[in-house]
Amino acid sequence: MGDDDQSIYAFREALGYRGMEAFIKQFDARPVVLGSNYRCRSEILAAADRVIRNNADRIAKVLRAEKGVGGTVTASRHADEYAEAVAAVEVLGPLMAKGDSCAILARTNRILDPLEAVCRSHGVKYYRASGASVLSRPEGALMCNLLEIVERVKETGLDSVLAHLGLHAEQLRALHTSMGAELQQKGKAELFELGLPEDVATNYREFMKRLAEWRGLCDRKFYSLTLSGVSEWMLKYTKKETAIRTIQATYDVLSRLSGTFADRLLFMRQDNNQPTPGALILTTMHSSKGLEWDHVWIARSEETIVPDAKSTEPEERRLFYVAMTRARESLMISGTAKNFASRFATEAQIESAAKLSVAA
């Protein structure tokens, strides 16, 4: 027993329709097609059916929504992924306040980063159900640590920041032996005498100069300029993609908050990423299989994202069908102006029911 339209694990050698077809032939089995759906309203199921019918290799079936009419299917386009995330949170927030269950689904885990950043900055209780939170990585903690040093909230922790720009433990020990606990700006000749190579000495001098500038800006409450400067400096010495994403996500959260850095960090460090009742679920399409919510928002439904070029179109269409049919009462499909709308959103014919709007 199985649903060939929900076979989304071909990369794990799942046979899906071909496996069912082979079983029927080998054992001369009589297929019994079940078309009743007890989860989705008819409007949602009809849109999903219009998508999945475009797959040629599938068992023909008539889908019936036993819950009947009363659902909604809408589509929207937004200027970028952050405008999209804000729209999703603002739409789903009131629904969660009423006690309805809500989820945002994405093709890949990294698409959830901006959504998590907006949940943090809006104080929305959420749970990232698939993949690790990008905000929990060490680069984010290091950036926060540097901001506290800039604001003089803390005096320790500078060694880890200097290690980020390439200073080794022996070099740090040499600096502390010469200057004590509080490191200061030094001339190149003095740094050479301590055994620092020219490139390391140059980087150290540049950082100490930047630190003094950031502190001056912070003292004058130019927090946006300070935050931008710290973020740019962190990225300058970051090469790994995951680390770059972490720094960008940390910046995105903090830039959307107000007040001193101490206030912003206190807010950001509130752990609202918990699997508690009433939390907004952030998860991938693959991880959503077998689950259901009252309201589902599918983010970044765009060409180059879904379908993913690494997979086949029929497999990606089944994945999109699975995502659509997680919704009980309402389904929202969104994308950004960066790419054309996904062909699956077009196949669903949602545009005829809901005019697409591009948020400024």
pLDDT in tens, 91-115: 999 999 999 999 999 999 999 999 9
The mean pLDDT of 166-186, rounded to a whole number, is: 89
Min mean pLDDT across 43-52, 90-99, 103-112, 180-189 is at 180-189
Position 324, amino acid: M
- Residues 5 and 52: beta-carbon distance below 8 Å: yes
Region of 16 (left: φ > 0; alpha: ψ -120 to 50; beta: rest) is left
- pLDDT bucket at 355, cuts 50 / 70 / 90: very low
pLDDT of residue 130: 83
Residue 347, token pair as written in the block:
């196949």
pLDDT of residue 271: 73
| Cα separation, 354 vs 47, whole angstroms | 12
pLDDT of residue 272: 74
Residue 276, token pair as written in the block:
């508690």
Q: When comparing pLDDT for 304 and 352, which is higher?
A: 304
Q: When comparing pLDDT for 245 and 101, which is higher?
A: 101
- pLDDT more than 70, % of the chain: 88
pLDDT of residue 180: 84
Say whether pLDDT at 227 is over 60.
yes
Q: When comparing pLDDT for 268 and 335, which is higher?
A: 335
The mean pLDDT of 118-138, rounded to a whole number, is: 87
Q: For 340, which DSSP code?
A: P
Q: Whole-number mean pLDDT of the chain?
A: 88
Which of 30-44, 160-174, 222-236, 268-282 is the most confident on average? 222-236
- pLDDT more than 90, % of the chain: 69
Residue 310, token pair as written in the block:
């690494």
- pLDDT bucket at 5, cuts 50 / 70 / 90: confident
pLDDT of residue 34: 63
- pLDDT bucket at 351, cuts 50 / 70 / 90: low
pLDDT of residue 181: 82
Say whether pLDDT at 63 is over 70.
yes
- Residues 235 and 244: beta-carbon distance below 8 Å: yes
Using a cut of 0.85, tell me whether the model's pTM lies above it.
no
**How are strands ordered across the β-sheet holding 358-359?**
126-128, 280-284, 102-106, 293-298, 327-336, 72-78, 358-359
pLDDT of residue 270: 78
| Cα separation, 105 vs 331, whole angstroms | 11
Q: If 0-12 CB within 10 Å is exposed, 13-18 middle and 19+ buried, where does residue 194 land?
A: middle
